[in-house]
Amino acid sequence: MVKGFSDNEVKNDAEIKESKTEKKGLAAFLKGKKFTYTLPGKKQINIFGSIVLGLNLILVLLVILYLKNQEFHDFVFNVGR
């Protein structure tokens, strides 16, 4: 007996049929639309990078201020209630 596929074709009587249901909602709206993705330009990359770095710097400064300054610590603690 040889291992592997047999010479006889296997025929499945139950074929997979796709559902013909009508799409609803957002899928129906986007059905005919074609979206293309374009890579951001150098200027846009620099703007988003500057925003991210700036916000991270502000976060680090606020954490340092929170840990070192007792008045700021109390202010954050009282506002958070």
Please tell me the predicted confidence (pLDDT) of residue 62: 95
Please tell me the predicted confidence (pLDDT) of residue 36: 78
Please tell me the predicted confidence (pLDDT) of residue 66: 94
- For residue 18, CA distances in Å to 1, 8, 12, 32, 57 come to 38, 27, 16, 19, 53
Please tell me the predicted confidence (pLDDT) of residue 55: 98
pTM across the whole model: 0.52
Q: Where are the domains of the chain?
A: 40-79
Please tell me the predicted confidence (pLDDT) of residue 3: 62
Q: CB-side exposure of 33: number of CA atoms within 13 Å? A: 7
Residues of the chain with pLDDT under 50: 15
What's the start-to-end Cα distance of the chain, in Å? 78
